[in-house]
Amino acid sequence: MEKEIKGVQLSGKINIPPSKSDGQRAVLCAGLATGQSIISNLGGSNDEKAMVQNIQQFGAKVEIRGNETVIDGSISFPNNAEFNCGESGLGLRLMTGICAVFEGKHTLTGEGSILNRSQSFFIEEFPKMGLEVQTNNGFLPIMLNGDLKPGIYTVDGSQSSQYISGLLMALPLLKADSELIIHELKSKPYIDMTLSTLASFGIDIRVEGNRYFIPGNQFYSATNYKVESDWSSASCWLAAAALGQKIELSGLSISSKQADVAMLDALYAANCNVEFLVDSIRVDGEKRRAFTFDATDCPDLFPALVVLAVGCIGKSIVKGVHRLKNKESDRGVVLQQEFEKLGIKIELLEDEMHIYGGTLMKSAKINSHNDHRIAMCMGIAATVIEAGVIIQDAESVSKSYPTFWDDLEDLVVRD
């Protein structure tokens, strides 16, 4: 699907959708819990739908009641099953960890861009933990045979925190204690989110520096859980507000453990004024300026940060480019290529992205590379380009934010 967005003025209040990251964690925990959990404010993204389907496949019962998702957890797990995680990297990594706990043969696969993403972590780490692992030359599907053994394991956390989250969800289910020692952990806020969700479902993990002590023989306990609004989705709207769009964002918690709450720090670095109202956030970017920001622990912010940077005169620097390689697209390269079509110069220098802003952007046809975050950031950029932009594969937003285009349309000021 192609979407044309022309230069428009936006105004109004937008209610930020639920976090698919928080939602997927909660759904999986509820699916593993004994008893009935009620998840409120669960979103309708493709990633969340895939996780719901997976817990149903391993025996959980799910019922939708308005804004509540009622989940009766499963007390058994199939010895032989295949799980499709859609395009969700998080869903795949969490489900692979859980499948590893249960004896038998389990296959994990997916769709779309995830088929092109390396699964080297499982190949390198799982055999050390007692599992036989097969892949398609390092890519999906992943086939596991055996079951995870308790023990003390040293693992590499530099690729993604999602692998670690999968292990943290899995190891408490073993019959004996385990310990994870993580080297070069990236995106630690996402690990903190996992630990917080696990605690809500009765799982206890003790942390000392880079060591995670995980008692065995634990059980997930059913609970009522409210999914937070999504700071990742909010980041593009915050960038839009900084560029002069008169919008307010509601539903966000500034005490959130989500990594992308760091977008506030980026706005401060760009000399924007952030105003916290009773139930919303407003941004004044009239005095914005070029900035430097380290996004190593929050790589999903890169698209929004580029949009912010193009509206700042001078060179902005965003660090952490190495975290973009194994996303839905090679985001560093894609951002460089697509913004070049709009007349924006971006350089990739080792682990830094240099964005030269303050130039009037021109109209172009943009390829989102089927990446939801690229599509959304281009949609926001288009609102300040008089002749507009045509975005290819615009439907990719359904991965995380199915109503994005509708929300954008609702904010357009009509003559």
Q: Which residue has the tokens 């996992």?
A: 194
Q: What is the CA radius of gyration of the chain?
A: 21
Could you give the CA distance from residue 352 to residue 345 in angstroms, rounded to a whole number?
A: 14
Are 123 and 107 within 8 A, CB to CB? no
Separation between Cα atoms, residue 254 and residue 261, nearest integer Å:
7
Burial of 199 (0-12, 13-18, 19+ CB in 10 A): exposed
Q: Which strand (E) or helix (H) includes residue 59?
A: none
CB atoms within 10 A of CB 105: 15
Provide the 10 A C-beta neighbour count for residue 47: 22
**Can 300 be counted among the known catalytic residues?**
yes
Would you call 207 helix, strand, or coil by DSSP? strand
Of 22, 72, 300, 371, the active-site residue reads 300
How far is Cα of residue 13 from the mean position of the Cα atoms in its chain?
23
Distance of CA 18 to the CA centre of its chain: 12
Give 331's DSSP letter: H
Return the DSSP state at 10.
B
Decide: 388 and 3 in contact? Cβ < 8 Å: no
* DSSP at 328: S
Lookup: tokens for 125: 């780490």
Cβ within 8 Å of residue 402, ≥6 positions away:
44, 45, 46
Closest CA to 355 of 317, 383, 325, 387: 317
Report the Cα 27 to chain-centroid distance in Å: 15
DSSP for residue 399: G
Residues whose CB is less than 8 angstroms from the CB of residue 371 and which lie 6 or more positions away in sequence, other chains included: 113, 327, 328, 329, 331, 334, 396
The residues annotated as belonging to the active site are 300
